[in-house]
Structure 1
């Protein structure tokens, strides 16, 4: 089951990001993320948060459209984005895409990246996406689609990630270990349309950047 989460961060091109909504089983907006959904012409299934940054126009539209709304106190122990992910998890989602998850609040942006780790442990695969980039986690083996010239960075989120092997990248990795806190895996390059990444132990953050 696929969930799409609209957070309140930056969305520059609604046309390019609308592709991520295709196939969504549930659409949840975290607070002011509802503005992004409305700008895409999308009616969400649920809006959650403290509603402190939702403009009156959007609040009225939520009521007019009869959209389910769950309002929480402004003083709470989790962000609105985490709350939206929790609701997606509770409703059976096994994968989620966050749009607007990166913005001009570096603390929120970093928290959203680390939320992927928390929910992966619980069985919900989360990725962050933008106009020409995606972030997701790798543990084990994955195939990644792209185009020749696209960039792929592999960043350890464990103390170290061992047994890293890649195919289809300009700088191949062969049973290598990368410790946390180094830039060894930054800015590798797709040689074609498909890349394989395999790890034996540890968790990688993958950042794929499409070359335009």
Structure 2
């Protein structure tokens, strides 16, 4: 099952995200992400959070629609988004798309990117998207379909990533080791319709970006 997790980060072009809801069996609205859910015209299956950023109007709107409410204390060890990831895992989701997970708060943005590791550990293929970026994490291989004006960036999330090999990208890597802090994988380009990125060990962020 596929989950869409709607967070409270920056969203400008709401129509851009419509494609990510195709086939979604679970929609989770995280706290103030409820405002985005309303503008997207979607009814979440559940509202999750400590509700310190949701407006009363949005809260009452979805409660009156019968949406399930999962409220948590403001003082807790996990972010609302991490709780949403756990919720999706417990419901048996194998895919998750996080929208509104990137924005002006770099601490929130990075913590959401790092949640891709938790998703991977829990058997979920996770991506975080906005209008300009799509971020995922791999520990084996991934195939990427060519898109117009898209750049591919590969960044280590572990201390080192061993055996990085690419096919179908302009700047090739062959059994390379990329250590944390290296920028070898930044801003690559497609040469084929489908590119392949594989690693032997470690955690690699794979980022599709456009200007």
When normalised by structure 2's length, the TM-score is 0.96
Separation (CA, whole Å) in 2 of partners of 1:148 and 1:31: 34
Separation (CA, whole Å) in 2 of partners of 1:137 and 1:184: 17
> 1:60 corresponds to which residue?
60
Q: Retained in 2: the 8 A contact 1:3–1:93?
A: yes
Secondary structure in 1 aligned to 2:114?
A: helix
Q: Which runs of 5+ in 1 are unaligned?
A: none
Secondary structure in 2 aligned to 1:154?
A: strand
Separation (CA, whole Å) in 2 of partners of 1:63 and 1:170: 51
When normalised by structure 1's length, the TM-score is 0.96
> 1:169 corresponds to which residue?
169
1:19 aligns with 2:16: no
Separation (CA, whole Å) in 1 of partners of 2:119 and 2:17: 23
Separation (CA, whole Å) in 2 of partners of 1:45 and 1:162: 40
> 1:35 corresponds to which residue?
35
- Once the two structures are superposed, what CA deviation does each residue of 1:97-155 show, in whole Å capped at 9, x if it has no partner? 00000111111111111111122112122110111320001211211112254200000
> 2:83 corresponds to which residue?
83
> 1:141 corresponds to which residue?
141
Separation (CA, whole Å) in 2 of partners of 1:45 and 1:17: 18
Separation (CA, whole Å) in 2 of partners of 1:15 and 1:175: 40
| Displacement after TM superposition at 1:210 (Å) | 3.8
Secondary structure in 2 aligned to 1:128?
A: strand
Q: Retained in 2: the 8 A contact 1:149–1:191?
A: no
Secondary structure in 2 aligned to 1:119?
A: helix
| Displacement after TM superposition at 1:160 (Å) | 0.9
Q: Counterparts in 2 of 1:114-133, with a 5 A limit?
A: 114-133=114-133
- Once the two structures are superposed, what CA deviation does each residue of 1:30-55 show, in whole Å capped at 9, x if it has no partner? 10111111101100000010111111
- Once the two structures are superposed, what CA deviation does each residue of 1:70-96 show, in whole Å capped at 9, x if it has no partner? 111111111111111111111111110
| Displacement after TM superposition at 1:4 (Å) | 0.3
Secondary structure in 1 aligned to 2:24?
A: coil
Q: Which runs of 5+ in 2 are unaligned?
A: none
Secondary structure in 1 aligned to 2:74?
A: coil
Q: Counterparts in 2 of 1:197-208, with a 5 A limit?
A: 197-208=197-208
Q: Retained in 1: the 8 A contact 2:34–2:59?
A: no
